[in-house]
Structure 1
C-alpha cells in the first residue's frame, strides 16, 4: 500500500484498469449500464460553475439570492448540487432558478455499480490516492469521477462552492485530479465548529481565493492562516432592498419578532427569559423557525406562564416573513456561542429586518456589530445577558417614536452595505480578478 500511495494517480488508474479487465474476462459477460447522458447541458459561456451540497435550501436563502442576482446581472452558468433537500420547508424561490440545477445521482453507489469496469477501476484508484493524502475524503472519489467529465465537456475551468464542507472538498479534489480551479465562500459553523486546521489549510491553500461574510471572520481566518491573508476577502451577503419594506404601521399590541432555526446559538431560550422579565408590558412575541428544540421552547414558554404572549409559530415562507416584518415593532435575535463553539456570523434575517425599517436588538457576537449600530439602528447586549436584553426591549416598547427612527436609520445602513446588486458586483469583481470568469 505504501508503494501504491507514492505512485502517480494515472499509473494507479492504469494498473487498476488492467486488473479490472483481466478479472471481468473470467466472468460471464454482463452488459454494463452507461452513465447518464449530459448532452443537454450547454457549454459554460464563462467557464464557470456553482457547486453546492444542496440547492436550493430554505435555511440558505443567501445562496439562491446570490445565484439569482448573478443571473440578473447577465451571467450564465451551470449549477450542480449533490442532492436536493427533500421535505424542505416551503419557499418562494425565483422562477428563473427552476430547472437550472443538475443533481448528482441520488444513489451514487448504484451509479458506480452500473458505470462499467473502466469507471469502477478509476474510482478505486482514486480512492487509494485519496486515502493516502486525506483519508476522510475517500468517498469524494465517486463524486469527482461523476462530475469531472461533465465539467470538462462543457468547458468549466473554475467552480465556486459554498461552505467549507463536502462541496468545497469535492472542488479541492477536482483541482488535484483535473486541474479545475476553485474558490469557496465560508459562512460560520463550517469553519468555527470542530475546525480541523489541516483540513482548512489544504482547502485555503489550493483555492484561488476564499470569501468570508464579515470582517470579523476574515480576521479570524487570517489570524490562523497568515500566509493566505491576501487571498481571503470579505463580501457581505446581500438582499434585494425592495423585497422587505414597511407596508403598514406597527401592530398593536407591539409585536416582537424573532426568526431562525430552533437551535442553541439563536438564543431563543434567552429571549423567552427576557420576555418573562417583561411579562407586565403590553406586547406579543412571535418566534418563527424550525428545528430540534421546538418542543423544548414550547415547554419553556409554558413554564414561564407566557402562553398567548410568546408564540412558537414554526416555519414561514419568505413572503410570509416579509409580511410579518412589515408590521413588526421590534426584531430581536439573541445570538450566543453554542456549547460546540458554533455561532452566527452575519444573520441574514437581521439584514431583512433592517431593510424593512425594523429596529434590531441583538448581541455582540461575531459580525453582528457590523450590521447593528448600537444606539442608532437598535441595541446590542452581551450574549446571555437576559436582563440587558429585556431592558433594551423595554426601552423600545415604551418609546415607539425612538423605535421608528432607529428602524429608518437601519434601512439606510442596509442600503449602503447590503444591497445585493452591489454585493454581487463585488463578488463578480473577485471572480474576474482571479480569472474565474472568462
Structure 2
C-alpha cells in the first residue's frame, strides 16, 4: 500500500471503549494497510480497562469538550475561527433547520464541538469518517460542511433504530458513502438514501481477525448438569442494558428445574447491573451467578474457553434501541461454543437454528429456559453446534473481506474518484489535490493551544 495517503479523521462518541472492539480492530487493520488516522472523540473514556487492540493503534485520540463549559477557550477560538470561513452561513442555516426539529441542549453541544474540531483538524486531512449516525455524525457533518471536507459513516445498531428518519435521510444525502453491519440495517438505510443512489449505503460485516484468538480447546468436560460438583457453565458477555435481555435470562434461569446444576458468569459493566443483581437475589439465584464486570480481552477469552455454552437473549430496548450482530457472538464462536440467542436483529444472519446454536423468540423467558435446558443436558449437541459455530466464523464472516471494501472506499475519496463536498475549492500540496475552504487552513494546534484541561 502507498504511504502517501492523506490522513483521515475518525469521529467516535467515546474512545477507547471495551464494548466497541469492532471499531478498534477496523482502525488497526486499516493502519496496517497503510492508512493514517486521527481519532476525534466526543467524550473521555469511562472504562477502567483498555483493550489490547487499542494499545496497538498508532493514532492518538483528540478529545472534544463533552460539555462546552469545560473548555470555553477552545469553544471561543473555534467560533472566532468560523467567522472567517465563507461556508459559515451554510452551516448556520443547516444548524437552525436542525434545531427547529430537535430543540435540545445536545444539538447546541454538537455545533460547539464541530466548531472546535473544524479549527483544530490537521489541514492535511481531507475526509472524515464517523462511527454511528446519531450525535457523532452531527459533529462530523457540521465540521465537514464548514471546512469543505467530505465525510462517510459506519452505522451500527442504536443509531439506526433510534435516530429520526429526517436526520438519517439528510446525513446520508450529505455523505459520500456509508456502511452498516447487518442486512436489516442496510435495508432500513437504503430506503432513506437518495432515490438515484440507493447503493450509497452498503453491507460490510465486521467479521473477526481470527489471528487475535487462540484455537478452541481440544475438548471440554462432558458436563450435563447432573452433578453439583461439576455444574454446566453458562457465560454471557455484554453491557447491562435493556437490549441485551439479561432480565429475561435471569427469569429463564429461575424456571430451570432445581435438579439441574448450573452456574452463570456475566462479563460487562452497564447501568442496569445493580438492578440485575437485585433481581437475581429476589429469584434466589445469587449464589449461582458470578458478576465479573468489564474485563480485558484476554480474560474474556479465558472465560469463554472455560464455558459450556454462550447465551445472549437480545431484544428491543428503550426507544427502539437494539443490537446489530453482536461481536461477542462471533467471539464466542471462535472458541467453539454453541450459541443460545434470539431471532432478533442481526443474530439470525450468523446463528442458524440447529447449525450454530438455538434461537428463541425475544421477550420469551419460557422459551429461553427451554433452550438452556436442552443445551445444558446434551453435551453431544453442544459439541456439534459449537463446531458449527467455529466453522461459520472462519468460513463465512471474513474480516479481511470487509477491510478490503473499506480500504477501497477510502482510497476512492482520497484519490478524488468520489465527488468532493459541494462548493469546496481544490488546491494542491505535496500529497496531491486537497480541498480548501478559505485560503490557507488554520495551523495545527498544540495541546495547550486547544485549551485542554479547562
Displacement of 1:152 = 5.8
Q: Would you say 1:399 and 2:381 are equivalent positions?
A: no
Displacement of 1:63 = 0.9
Q: What's the secondary structure of 2:266's corresponding residue?
A: strand
Q: Would you say 1:205 and 2:170 are equivalent positions?
A: no
Give the structure-2-normalised TM-score: 0.79
Q: Would you say 1:174 and 2:143 are equivalent positions?
A: yes
Structure with larger RCO (C-alpha < 8 A, sep 6+):
2
Displacement of 1:373 = 1.1
Q: CA 1:49–1:149 in structure 2 vs 1: closer, same or farther (change >3 Å)? A: same
Q: CA 1:192–1:58 in structure 2 vs 1: closer, same or farther (change >3 Å)? A: same
Q: What's the secondary structure of 2:317's corresponding residue?
A: coil
Q: What's the secondary structure of 2:260's corresponding residue?
A: coil
After the TM superposition, which of the residue ranges 139-148 and 389-398 deviates more from structure 2?
139-148
Q: Would you say 1:119 and 2:81 are equivalent positions?
A: yes
Choose from 96, 116, 129 the match for 1:132.
Answer: 96
Q: Deviations over 1:111-161 (max 9, x none)?
A: 234x3994374599667444433225444443333333544622x221111
Partner of 2:268: 289
Partner of 2:421: none
Q: CA 1:435–1:389 in structure 2 vs 1: closer, same or farther (change >3 Å)? A: same
Choose from 320, 326, 330 the match for 1:347.
Answer: 326
Q: Would you say 1:59 and 2:28 are equivalent positions?
A: no
State the alpha-carbon separation in 1 of the partners of residues 6 and 78 from structure 2. Answer: 32
Matches within 5 A, 1:34-433: 45-97=5-57, 100-104=60-64, 107-113=70-76, 115=77, 118-119=80-81, 121=83, 128-135=92-99, 136=102, 137-151=107-121, 153-154=123-124, 156-193=125-162, 195-225=163-193, 227=195, 228-244=197-213, 245-247=215-217, 249-250=219-220, 252-278=230-256, 279-433=258-412
Q: Contact 1:270–1:334 (CA<8 Å) still a contact in 2?
A: yes
Q: Deviations over 1:193-221 (max 9, x none)?
A: 2x212111110000111111111111122
Q: What's the secondary structure of 1:392's corresponding residue?
A: helix
After the TM superposition, which of the residue ranges 236-245 and 397-406 deviates more from structure 2?
236-245
Partner of 2:445: none
Q: Contact 1:130–1:141 (CA<8 Å) still a contact in 2?
A: no
Q: Contact 1:66–1:238 (CA<8 Å) still a contact in 2?
A: no
Q: Contact 1:249–1:327 (CA<8 Å) still a contact in 2?
A: no
State the alpha-carbon separation in 1 of the partners of residues 4 and 146 from structure 2. Answer: 20
State the alpha-carbon separation in 2 of the partners of residues 102 and 417 from structure 1. Answer: 36
Q: CA 1:54–1:254 in structure 2 vs 1: closer, same or farther (change >3 Å)? A: same
Q: Contact 1:201–1:225 (CA<8 Å) still a contact in 2?
A: yes
Unaligned runs of 5+ in 1: 1-42
Give the structure-1-normalised TM-score: 0.82
Q: What's the secondary structure of 1:365's corresponding residue?
A: coil
Partner of 2:446: none
Q: Contact 2:40–2:64 (CA<8 Å) still a contact in 1?
A: yes
Q: Deviations over 1:323-362 (max 9, x none)?
A: 1111211000011112421111111100101111100010
Q: CA 1:139–1:122 in structure 2 vs 1: closer, same or farther (change >3 Å)? A: farther
Q: CA 1:142–1:297 in structure 2 vs 1: closer, same or farther (change >3 Å)? A: closer
State the alpha-carbon separation in 2 of the partners of residues 145 and 44 from structure 1. Answer: 28
Q: CA 1:121–1:290 in structure 2 vs 1: closer, same or farther (change >3 Å)? A: same
Unaligned runs of 5+ in 2: 222-229, 417-431, 433-454
Q: Contact 1:257–1:331 (CA<8 Å) still a contact in 2?
A: yes
State the alpha-carbon separation in 2 of the partners of residues 436 and 60 from structure 1. Answer: 29
Q: What's the secondary structure of 2:156's corresponding residue?
A: coil
State the alpha-carbon separation in 1 of the partners of residues 194 and 121 from structure 2. Answer: 32
Larger C-alpha radius of gyration, 1 or 2?
1
Q: What's the secondary structure of 1:361's corresponding residue?
A: strand
CA RMSD of aligned residues (A): 2.7
Q: What's the secondary structure of 1:396's corresponding residue?
A: helix
Q: Contact 1:157–1:436 (CA<8 Å) still a contact in 2?
A: no
Q: CA 1:53–1:373 in structure 2 vs 1: closer, same or farther (change >3 Å)? A: same
